[in-house]
Structure 1
Amino acid sequence: MLNRRTLLAASGAALAASTFARPHIARAAAPFVQPPLPYDESALAPTISARTVGLHYGKHHKGYFDKLNALTAGTPYADLDLEAAIRRAADEKEAAIFNNAGQAWNHNFYWQQFTDGPAEPPPALVQAAERDFGGIDALKKQVVEVGSGVFGSGWVWLVEDGDTLAVVGLKDAGNPIAEKMRPLLGIDVWEHAYYLDWENRRPAHIQAVLDERVNWSAVGERLGA
């Protein structure tokens, strides 16, 4: 017989699976559940090695979910999805919850954008990049420059800010949702994301991810979504 705990676990797993069926959404139910990696750990090699993916997903990403569940157990946050938890924690200045919810969401988004990649950008994204950066290559150059300039740990994001594309670097668990911007692409520039494969060559890592792993078709689908 299914009890309430079993039903909650089953519904959480179903929602986690649906996260990767819709690339423009990254959320988890309460209790917060880490979605499955949508491909084998070796699928991103050699740009991102299986060893890096295993540690990144299995240790770091999982750790954010574990910590978030510990922090929110028995609180109103436990009834929220990740996006709502991020917004509420930002408003209430709950730094620990914000950091772990933000990093959980950021990594959900990060793994999704490589599914079925690499793929070419659709016309709408090409046109927007031409309008706001001078083309896709210029957009990539901006992502590399901004990502390389994030001091210490953080993320570089391609976002839709109103009707304009922009590239922003955010520290630590920085998340476009909290900044009221729509995320289109996010690259982790914490050292755990690249150091085993690229050592201190962060710019080269970012460029390789943009050129060799990002599903630009999925990025384009998020545009104006």
Structure 2
Amino acid sequence: MAVVLAAVGWFQLDSKPKILKQQERRRLEELDRKADPYFNQARKEVPKIAKTLSSKKAMMKLCWLIAKDKATGKHQAEEYLAKHIKPIVSNCEQAASVYGVRLNSKEFAKVMKETGSDYLKASVYPLGSLGIEAVMIRSTLASVSRICGSVIARMSTCAVGGSAAAVADGPLPIGDIFAVVLTVGGTAWSIYDLHQLSKQLPKDLENTLLNSIDNCRYACREVYMK
């Protein structure tokens, strides 16, 4: 009898962790159901934002800002992108709040590093910004720089020279940006190259932003479970 009771007691003790794990798993699934609509909405915003940033006008402006930031040490390209990706960041923030996670917390940053996100470089973004915003901005800049490197390099030549000195501290009209491209690369090269790049960029931007959203969801779940 004593042996039977002891066996029952051992079974009950052994089953408690399993029961707790089942409860935690059900709770996590419940939170996923509440958070996923926000993540899905963030994903729905991606094609539209990628298309906007890949338009010739936006692409030229962004390339110019990247080139100018390299010459001046400013962060105007980051500020420009922050306005465009705001709908994605807002939805990710709403989703994170479901898990009780702050996107600018150390715990979130640690998990994002583990996902392979470019978080160390992203951390130079102004203090107080959302962690996922910094990651998306830096990842998007990397994507644009990768696809449009030739344009940025040619613009950088002007940004560090006298042709851009007069506008280094202020906004550059889009017509002048186009003139810079034409001056440095030649009319035929510029129009063809920009057209080709505007077709390549959307998919690359979409993949970059979607990957950041997926990493954000993963990080939120990991932080909640710890």
Q: TM-score, normalised by structure 1?
A: 0.27
Task: Write 1 or 2 for the structure with the bigger share of strand.
Answer: 1
Higher relative contact order (CA 8 A, sep 6+): 2
